[in-house]
Chains A and B, each alone.
Chain A
Amino acid sequence: MNTEQKAQAVEPKNETLSRRNILSAGGIALSAAGALALAGAATPAMAQSMRGDAANDVNLLNAARALEFEGIAAYQIALDSGLLPPNAVGFATLYQSHHKQHNDDLEKAIKRLGGEAVGPKTTAQYVKQLEADKLKTFEDILRLALRLERGAASAYLGLIEPLKNTDLHLLVARLAADEAAHAATFMIDLASPISAKTPLF
């Protein structure tokens, strides 16, 4: 990714999609710019300026950013779908704002390590990778949200061991707790069974 592409990709695209656009875009192909915006790409400049553990940590944190960007996009897809009841709109907006804050925290951590935070893909790419064309009901959206939030909690816990900079452990542990809290509310909404065996994540 060149500098111009990165500059364009730094902030999520606030494209407002109609429900028809969101739910019928299954065949959209990846664009070259979008493919380059995939998180975690260590650029040649980074490779020259960073070595070893710091560069590896940056790659892991950028993958986490990719996860957060996908979460932000998922909530936007839900908000634009027309499938949310009125009382769920504020809820989705709140959780989306949490993920934006997570991304800000990750970006700061990456910069502290001397790395470069990568940006999001296009909305169309998130629609494709989340298979948003299959979302037909509010329950479909709740199930997607639960899957993403529960998975994110697990993913953040899995980052604690490989991150070599121990200052980052508290950050990812806190992010995991946020994701787990989100997931818990969706489990209640869906009356999802809670495992008798711990750990839950």
Chain B
Amino acid sequence: MNVPRRRCLPLVFAHGAAAGAFLMLSWQTTDASMAMKRLAGNMTSSAEQEISARDVGDVVRGESLYAAKCGACHSVEQNRIGPKHRGVFGRRIGGVEDYDYSAALTGVDRVWDNASLDEWLLAPTEMFPGARMGFAVKDDRERADIIAYLKSVSE
């Protein structure tokens, strides 16, 4: 079968979206930088000062990573293969009422926070054997960024 090609797309729209994305990136990067500075300002020991950007996470990078790595099964607003993520940070694990969870995530007495999300994203089937989600994010930095984004859609 011949593959149709459609090359003449409305570039005006593409440029407009790019400009908007740039503005959003600039704002959010500044916000993240300020948060890191505030965090650093409260440090007292050298060990604490070693806490780096990894621990804060970058919302803009997180949004891009979320689209690439989580977007196959999740969206912010809709239950799909996995549950919707609006409000996930601080929510009880298995707590979206209109989503049909596996037995592995039913009745868990814990909430999604930095620690639990990091554990989940690192090895979901090890945290909850029998979970339907097998996809893991092995890179520490990427997990922190995705968690920062999930936090941003929960505020």
A interface, CB within 8 angstroms of B:
30, 35-36, 38-42, 47, 55-56, 59-60, 62-63, 66-67, 70, 85, 87-88, 90-91, 94, 128-131, 138-139, 142, 147-148, 150-152, 154-155, 158-159, 161-163, 185, 188-191
Contact present for A155 and B72 (CB under 8 Å) = yes
Contact between chains at A91 and B3 (CB < 8 Å): yes
B79–A162 touching, CB < 8 Å: no
Which of B42-50, B53-61, B63-71 lies on the face that meets chain A? B63-71
B134 interface contact, C-beta 8 A: yes
Distance in angstroms from B13 CB to nearest chain A CB is 8
**Which residues of chain B come closer than 8 Å to A38, judged between CB atoms?**
99-100
Say yes or no: B78 contacts A128, CB within 8 Å. yes
CB pair A67–B72 under 8 Å, yes or no, is yes
Judged by DSSP, the binding face of B is loop
Contact indicator B72/A88 (Cβ below 8 Å): no
Give, as a whole number of angstroms, the nearest-CB distance from A29 to chain B: 8
**Set A40, A70, A159: member contacting B135, Cβ < 8 A:** A159
Instruction: Say whether B78 contacts A147, CB under 8 Å.
Output: no
B119 CB, min distance to chain A CBs, angstroms: 15
Stretch of B4-12, B22-30, B147-155 contacting A (4+ beta carbons < 8 Å) = B4-12
Select B10's contact among A36, A55, A139, beta carbons within 8 Å.
Answer: A139
Quick one: which of A63, A91, A185 contacts B73, CB cutoff 8 A?
A63
Question: Assuming A94-B1, A131-B77, is B130 touching A42 (CB within 8 A)?
Answer: yes
B102–A59 CB distance below 8 A: yes
Pairwise interchain contact B5-A40, C-beta atoms closer than 8 A: no
Also in contact, A151 and B100, with CB within 8 A (given A91-B3, A139-B9, A162-B125):
no
A67 and B73 form a contact (CB under 8 A): yes
